[in-house]
Amino acid sequence: MRHDWARLPGHAVEVWLSGEYVASGIVDQAADDDSVLWLAGAGANTRRLFDKSTGYQMWV
């Protein structure tokens, strides 16, 4: 699990919430303060925003 979200742009991650798999993809952008990040859209999936304060976890 990674806590330093600001360093994740360009990396492939899995997104988890409360022990449940949510999504996977490439990190498109992340806030400098590690508070949020965006997964790049792929195919029919659009770009998605995840907020750390909600409890989302990023696994590389």
Q: For residue range 4-53, what is the model confidence (pLDDT) as tens digits?
A: 999 999 999 999 999 999 999 999 999 999 999 999 987 777 899 999 99
**What pLDDT does residue 42 have?**
78
Structural domain boundaries of the chain? 5-59
Q: What's the distance, CA 56 to chain centroid? A: 8
**Paired residues of 17 in beta bridges:** 20
Mean pLDDT of 51-57: 97
Torsion 9-12-18-20 (CA) sign: positive
Yes or no: say if 11 and 27 are a contact pair by the CB < 8 Å rule: yes
